[in-house]
Structure 1
């Protein structure tokens, strides 16, 4: 995800966003759900492309509704959204990335969700946390993802490893064995620094019992649990178990294929990439839950669907979102995209209920945590990114780096 735009960049991007926002709501009288109308929708990346097909099918059963889907690239999504919000020109329905919602809810540009009709208990806890801000829900979970451990089973055999690492101690032992006995260049791929390094760090932090912020937005990145997690994370770099630098846009699957990297943490889309791009790897890799420290906890990502507070088509927007986020809609979306359903009932039938790998994803989702929905989250995580890099590059101890980050974050959330 991108960092929030500055005031100057908002001004610069308003003009470029108008071509997308011209069809947004104007804040006038609301239109009834059964009236003839056009519903405007922004969706990001691959989802934006796939959603157009779903919209066509929806229109066949709702002939009074024209759904106009505008795909927006993730690389420009945040700037487009900020510019549209500043101009009061958000579309009727907008996809919210996992770290976006708190920021836009805080702006007052999103319609609160009616929790009498959209039930929290239908969704994974981490998915619902992503749509919640200041005690209210401002979106409906659409899909969710998390991170699990990918590992080379053929190289594990050479390294004398009979099972996947079950604990963080096992993970370190496995990394060393891969390198020494199986001849891999690295033991584990984790991000050494730069933008969003914190996402690579979350499984270590959460599994150790650490957090960025408490539920009442108090920074706790200097806790004993967080220091322990960063000491563990940083320990992979001094002796070359993990690379101290990676090129921009680094694709770990290439090194996973060659065997240079035998283990990494990745999301569900990686499975399709490996199957499609490296068919010779079939039956040579597997996935496992995040190794346990105090517990096994991974980060949760994904997206939700929100309605603009200024939309004139809220009734129709609610119906469209409901069709995408109920169990049937999410099972269909999984078939189209392989995005993991946020609605738990979608996992009760078909491949989602029977596939062995998908059972691992579901188990990890049950305990996964979402980063806090703080409007300054990207500023907060940038401080943690810096702290992690200071440790991986040997420039600071974990305690000193996190003490500094704690002080900086306290200044942001006061």
Structure 2
């Protein structure tokens, strides 16, 4: 926890260096000196070939540098420290607050009306929320991500849910019956290290995080109800606490006939366990007070020190166009952030993908604050104490609130 917080403080200090460097150097960037060339950093290597159409249309050359996700954070820190970065950069939604706090991005607020594809109404509301920080708009949504329930239709039919469970009570009922089949049989796989999942459970119990309330947010009944729901699956043997089989093997042999995941699993299941064709499907998240899932994905942002603002914004406007986003979906199956793109038959007529589109209408953003990832990891540790070490839930949550208070006070 201390290392993560020190990392955040480092970003803030590096941000100050960026501002000073911009004042003394005229704001030069590390992008190409050629006015007809922009430099783009991304974590998706397929972009290099994809942008050739834009180059042909615009006459602007796009130098794409693909950075592995594992290296991206450190590379961005270096760019912030030196003031030498790209003209355009991809940023994951959970990194927005940390790097915005450091002054990494150009505020796009004054440019929204100049570019038709920047209109916030084009995008899912929760995706737009993750582009906002401290009154600024730091990016434009590129692609989105969320979670739904994957389930074995044949096995769920046997316990009375052929179309999948609608509510969390349905999930518990189905999982209880499925876990009763015998040794090493479970009803569901519950994520134990996904930082977003516990917050999803709390949202679905009606919990909301209010930034000004700090640690008091975690005294609200809905948050405890989400923690209790998470624990119930392990306490009652519906989910496996230990690692167990590889997930695709467990899904294939039916020992774990339900799990939660994102859209990439559709192709993975089709490719890795093709024998399951016709025996599985996806369903929107189970409902309690609501069925809100997380919103993830990535945005396009402009590096604060670039001297090619117009070129950078024109490129982002092209990437945000619904036709471009459908073409990008065709390339890497990442879900469009632009809602108009979902009218294309490639998405609208694919039953599994359209379920993700339905779920995207019921999503929430995690708190856009620099401390979120540290708070979320602390919650994962708290759940481990509850699920593995039988810690009392009330006592564990009291300790969690103390940890959150400490995190937010630094």
TM-score category, normalised to shorter length: 0.7 to 0.9
**Following TM superposition, by how much is the alpha carbon of 1:362 offset from its aligned partner in structure 2, in angstroms?**
1.5
Question: How big is the alpha-carbon RMSD for the aligned residues of Structure 1 and Structure 2?
Answer: 2.7
1:278-325 per-position Cα deviation (integer Å, ceiling 9, x unaligned): 111111101111111111111111000111000121111101111111
Aligned to 2:21: none
Q: Does structure 1 conserve the Cα–Cα contact (< 8 Å) formed by 2:8 and 2:98? A: no
Aligned to 1:18: none
In structure 1, how many angstroms separate the alpha carbons of the residues matched to 2:30 and 2:188? 54
Pairing of 1:12-411 with structure 2 (within 5 A):
27-28=27-28, 36-44=35-43, 48-63=44-59, 65-113=60-108, 114-116=111-113, 117=115, 118-181=118-181, 185-192=185-192, 196-211=193-208, 213-216=209-212, 218-219=214-215, 220-246=217-243, 252-411=247-406
Q: Does structure 2 conserve the Cα–Cα contact (< 8 Å) formed by 1:124 and 1:366? A: yes
Q: Does structure 1 conserve the Cα–Cα contact (< 8 Å) formed by 2:29 and 2:86? A: no
1:84-112 per-position Cα deviation (integer Å, ceiling 9, x unaligned): 21222221111101100111111111011
Q: Does structure 2 conserve the Cα–Cα contact (< 8 Å) formed by 1:26 and 1:311? A: no
* Change over 3 Å in CA distance of 1:406–1:162 after alignment to 2: same
List runs of 5+ in structure 1 lacking aligned partners.
15-24
TM (norm. structure 2) is 0.88
**Following TM superposition, by how much is the alpha carbon of 1:357 offset from its aligned partner in structure 2, in angstroms?**
2.0
**Following TM superposition, by how much is the alpha carbon of 1:411 offset from its aligned partner in structure 2, in angstroms?**
2.5
**Following TM superposition, by how much is the alpha carbon of 1:182 offset from its aligned partner in structure 2, in angstroms?**
8.2
Q: Give the 3-state SS of the residue equivalent to 1:121 in structure 2.
A: helix
Q: Give the 3-state SS of the residue equivalent to 2:287 in structure 1.
A: coil
**Following TM superposition, by how much is the alpha carbon of 1:237 offset from its aligned partner in structure 2, in angstroms?**
1.0
In structure 2, how many angstroms separate the alpha carbons of the residues matched to 1:263 and 1:74? 28
* Change over 3 Å in CA distance of 1:147–1:274 after alignment to 2: same
Moved more, 397-406 or 233-242: 397-406
TM (norm. structure 1) is 0.87
* Change over 3 Å in CA distance of 1:315–1:251 after alignment to 2: farther
